[in-house]
Structure 1
Amino acid sequence: MEKLQEKGPLKKKLGLFDAAMLVMGSMIGSGIFIVSADIMRNLGSGYWLIVVWIITGVMTVAAAISYGELSSMFPKAGGQYTYLKEIFGKMMGFLYGWGLFTVIQTGTIAAVAVAFGKFTAYLIPALNDAAPIFQNGGYKITWIQILAIGVILLLTFINTKGVESGKWLQNIFTGSKIVALIGLIILGFLLVKSNFWADNMSFRWDAFNNLKTDSGGNFIKSGWESISGMTIMGGIAAAMVGSVFSSVAWENVTFVSGEIENPKKNVVRAMVLGTSAVMILYLLVNFIYLNTLNRDSIAFALNDRVAVAASEQIFGSGIGTIVMAVLVMISTFGCVNGIVLAGARVFQTMAKDGMFFKAALDNNKNGVPEKSLWMQGIWASVLCLSGQYGNLLDMISFVIVLFYMITVFGVIYLRLKKPDLERPYKTWLYPVTPIVYLLIGAAFCILLLIYKQQYTWPGLVIVLLGVPVYFFINKKTV
């Protein structure tokens, strides 16, 4: 740690409110405005749509409560990377960090930034209408991708000016989107003319009568004879891919533990308060979808933009589209900022351990890891240009949950192996809370392995490619 301090110590400039805003801002991106369409296509019922979001909410908050114990034991920058390294060794920590840099963090930055660009195109149609800057066969570079890269580079630059700059930007944009979401929820019940709530919530088990998987694992219409308990569970697991990915990134707050005041208490408070508030907001937003749109309008919303369809029902087609476009732009801009701010701290911590480029170790005169920020921003920009960020994120969702499970298991492992370690905060309802997460997470992963293999093995391959990289980095010490 002495070497890091010589390069410029991290300054504790984030309070509890700032940390909670980082949790909420990193979670709320574009997913909540889109993924409910896919969930409805998989399940065919508003009732089961809500069940999926409740399961995801329980899962997310249970993980946050469990992580709290580890955050109080290891209140350092690096968060989840540090927990995994301390509990299971350097290789496990490196594989998480490798996945974070190659896809998880940078791929999320790219995907959310491109979502910002796509919704900006609602306000500036010329972005959609313009010819590609470059095209070769199926590959093309569009102005929307260039706008996404511009957002990434702008927010990276702002965050190099100090944690205060990133903090204020985060608080303003997160506060704005929370207020806007609450407004949308209230108006969705007050202004809507046609109410579809009763119809959407009446299907229950019958919703599965028409579900069957084809050879590609996609759900198609068929008869009752095709339905089994496993098919139903497979449908729920497939539907949860979107809800789970919309509910990740809350752990970003652990990455900046070194810059949070009283991290032994405030990190866990921020995680539990932030995740609980966001999951309640997500449920209420889905209530609006079910209140304003019928089942098919949700399932087959244009480009899956179910929030736009709902907003048009509330405000009218022209105004509704603009209102939702502005809300998603605010949401995605703030989300990218939070993820940019947090991720670079992990790569700096990895550099301290000799697991990343040495340049990432340095803090600039503003006390932030400038070179680490730029490395992250440049790779995220490359992923924007690749056009594969969406596919990569589908592939990595499985691995994200696996790493969550390994980390949550670490709470139980340390309780058994090192019961005398100081624990300023102990997991609420231990061991029930971590076990609940592990059971739901295991069911989710197993069912995906059976029904949606395209979401599983590619992510595992990406992470396992880190094994030879790890041994190459450590060849001098092995």
Structure 2
Amino acid sequence: MDMPVTPAVQRTVEAPRPVLHARAAFAIAIGIVVGAGIFRTPSLVAGAAATEAVFLGAWLVGGLLSIVGALCYAELASTYPQAGGDYTYLQRAFGPRTAFLYAWARLAVIQTGSIALLAYVAGDYLAQLVSIGPMSAPVYAAAAVVVLTAINWLGVKQGTSTQNWLTAIEVGGLVAIVLAGLLFAPDAPVAATPASSGDAYGLILVFVLLTYGGWSEAVYVSAEVRDAPRVMPRILVLSLTAIAVLYLLVNLAYLRVLGLGGIAASETVAADAMQAVFGAPGATAISALVVAAALTSANATLITGARSAYAVGRDFPALSMLGRWDAESGSPRNAVLVQGALALLLVGLGAFARDGFRTAVEYTAPVFWLFFLLVGISLFVLRARDPQAPRVFRVPLYPLLPLLFCATSAYLLYSSLAYTGLGALVGVAVLAVGGLLLVRLRPASP
């Protein structure tokens, strides 16, 4: 049984301060979602869909379900605007042990693995643009981790400024794909014949919601956003609405150029679409865009991941080094460095035994959806346990929308286990290691 919730002990004079404008949190939310996934998962979704209607409908359903989840998070973020995000909600609802397991999963699996994977995506495409030898991709990936870690170590202003620029480049590139596909598409798509004779709805949703994944990361900077209780609900809902519209238009452009079969057969769907429209220069341009997209998501993941590591270091004395907030930089510098070092280690291991995109999904998805489900349940628990907390924003149609969010998360947890193999077992095993650490770790006393 989890221990009772105990207030966090303030270990340092400094703590997060509300210095970020709403647009910075909006850029983080957009940047972390619109990453490398939209350039890869459409082919996997098309391979499991039998018709264009199912293919496009899946992106619409994914956007609507994500907005439902965002409404649930909006209540939690506006009620408890703290740097820990999900960690704070789980701690309040289920106690410090469950919260620690979540923080461990983020540090050991979800965040560092995502940073390394995104760095490799950038490295692979940079190696195609400018090769520096057989080890080009690992060298570029390692350099990306080092540079982004250094930028965020310098301070929150440097990290978010970088995020704003990268997000603008990324979104601009996707708009270019939409315009190219809708205005300059060939008379007939490359391959209209579907690759699948039946619809695998569970698998389709796993990949679609993976591509929408990351929107909840914005809550990790809620303690640093000005007037967070009022603006965080708008940031979460508006960012996902914009992303859903953009994803629908991008996938419609892919269909116009390549057709459902062409999308399914492509491993670089955006590059193939642009090459079909503009030739080799189009493919080169999109490769540069993928690099920007991967770096955008990696930078946003690094920003938010360091905040959850800071939160657990603040609450567990044995990990107090992570819980130090640097006043000069306005960031948890130690947490930034530890996270960067772990991601760099994973990049180094990937140079010798790299798993593919699908294996990365297997590794992270079950653990991710397990804790997403627990966060959904925590909304009900905290409504009952903490009814006096000022709730600036309340989920509309309560309890129907939170129940839908929990049911979706439970179904995706099942689907991620049903459609995966060894990768899922490794992720669960790493989570179990965190459980063993709890035997020695104790939360701070009141």
TM-score by length of 2: 0.91
Q: Which moved more, 1:347-356 or 1:287-296?
A: 347-356
Alpha-carbon distance, 1:2 to partner: 6.9
- Tell me, what secondary structure is at the counterpart of 1:357? helix
Out of 22, 37, 46, the position equivalent to 2:52 is: 46
Q: 1:394 aligns with which of 349, 354, 362?
A: 362
Query: Pairwise CA RMSD of aligned residues?
Result: 2.3
2:171 to 178, 202, 206: 178
Q: Indicate the SS of the match to 2:128.
A: helix
Query: Would you say the 8 A contact 1:238–1:452 is kept in 2?
Result: no
Alignment CA distance shift 1:165-1:465 (3 Å): same
Question: How far 1:412 sits from its partner (Å)?
Answer: 2.1
Provide the C-alpha distance between the structure 2 equivalents of 1:198 and 1:319, rounded to a whole number of angstroms: 22
Alpha carbons of 1:293 and 1:107: their partners in 2 closer, same or farther (altered >3 Å)? same
Per-residue CA deviations over 1:432-465 (Å, capped at 9, x if unaligned) read 2212222222223223434434564433332222
**Per-residue CA shift, 1:130-186, capped at 9, x if unaligned?**
33xxxxxxxxxx321121111111111111222111111111111121122112212
1:105 Cα offset (Å): 0.5
Specify the alignment match of 2:411 in structure 1. 443
User: Does 1:360 pair with 2:322?
Assistant: yes
- Could you say if the C-alpha distance between residues 456 and 2 of structure 1 is closer, same or farther in structure 2, counting changes exceeding 3 Å? closer
Q: What is residue 193 of structure 1 aligned with on the other side?
A: 186
Change (3 A) 1:451 1:345: closer
Look up the match of 1:83.
Answer: 89
- Whether contact under 8 Å (2:257, 2:276) holds in the other structure is yes
Quick check: 1:104–1:396 contact (8 Å CA) kept in 2?
yes
Residue 115 of structure 2 aligns to a residue in which SS? helix
Counterparts of 1:278 and 1:197, CA distance in 2: 27
1:108 aligned residue: 114
Work out whether residues 4 and 361 of structure 1, in 8 Å CA contact, stay in contact via their aligned partners in 2.
yes
Whole-Å separation in 1 of the counterparts to 2:153 and 2:185: 45
Partners of 1:421 and 1:236 in 2: CA distance = 39
SS of the residue aligned with 1:293? Answer: helix
Residues 223-242 of structure 1 aligned to structure 2 (within 5 Å): 232=199, 235-242=200-207
Tell me which of 406, 415, 420 is aligned to 2:374: 406
TM-aligned CA deviation for residue 27 of structure 1: 0.9
1:329-357 per-residue CA deviation (whole Å, 9 max, x = no partner) reads 11111211111122111111111101763
Q: Report the TM-score when normalising by structure 1.
A: 0.85
Q: Deviations over 1:11-64 (max 9, x none)?
A: 322111111111001111111001111112222432222232223212211111
For 1:135, the equivalent position in structure 2 comes to none
**Counterpart in 2 of 1:328?**
290
Superposition deviation, residue 199 in structure 1 = 4.9
> Does the 8 Å CA contact 2:145/2:340 hold for their aligned counterparts?
yes
Q: Number of aligned pairs? A: 432
| Counterpart-to-counterpart distance in 1, 2:96 and 2:413 | 25
8 Å CA contact 1:107–1:393 kept in 2: the answer is no
* C-alpha distance in structure 2 between counterparts of 1:248 and 1:426, whole Å: 23
Equivalent AA in structure 1 for residue 331 of structure 2: V
Q: Distance in 1 between matches of 2:444 and 2:408?
A: 41
Paired with 1:345 and 1:147, the residues of 2 have a C-alpha distance of 26
Q: Give aligned-pair identity as a percent.
A: 26
Which among 370, 391, 397 is matched to residue 333 of structure 2?
370
Query: Does the 8 A contact of 1:185 with 1:284 survive in 2?
Result: yes
Given candidates 410, 419, 428, the residue that maps to 1:460 is 428
Q: 1:81–1:93: 8 Å Cα contact kept in structure 2?
A: yes
3-state SS of 2:392 partner: coil
- The answer as to 2:265 corresponding to 1:300 is yes
**Matched residue of 2:212: which SS?**
coil
**How many Å apart are 1:289 and its aligned residue?**
0.8
Query: Counterpart of 2:305?
Result: 343
Amino acid in structure 1 at the alignment position of 2:303: L
Supply the distance in 1 between the matched residues of 2:18 and 2:51 (Cα, whole angstroms): 47
Give 3-state SS (helix, strand or coil) of 2:439's partner: helix
Q: 1:430 aligns with which of 395, 398, 406?
A: 398
Q: Distance in 2 between matches of 1:182 and 1:105?
A: 28
2:260 and 2:368 map into 1 onto residues whose CA distance is 30
Q: Distance in 1 between matches of 2:227 and 2:70?
A: 18
Contact kept? 2:32, 2:296, Cα under 8 Å: yes
List alignment gaps of at least 5 residues for structure 1: 132-141, 212-231
Instruction: Provide the rounded CA distance (Å) in 2 between the counterparts of 1:355 and 1:469.
Output: 13
Q: Does structure 2 conserve the Cα–Cα contact (< 8 Å) formed by 1:397 and 1:455?
A: no
Q: Distance in 2 between matches of 1:123 and 1:265?
A: 44
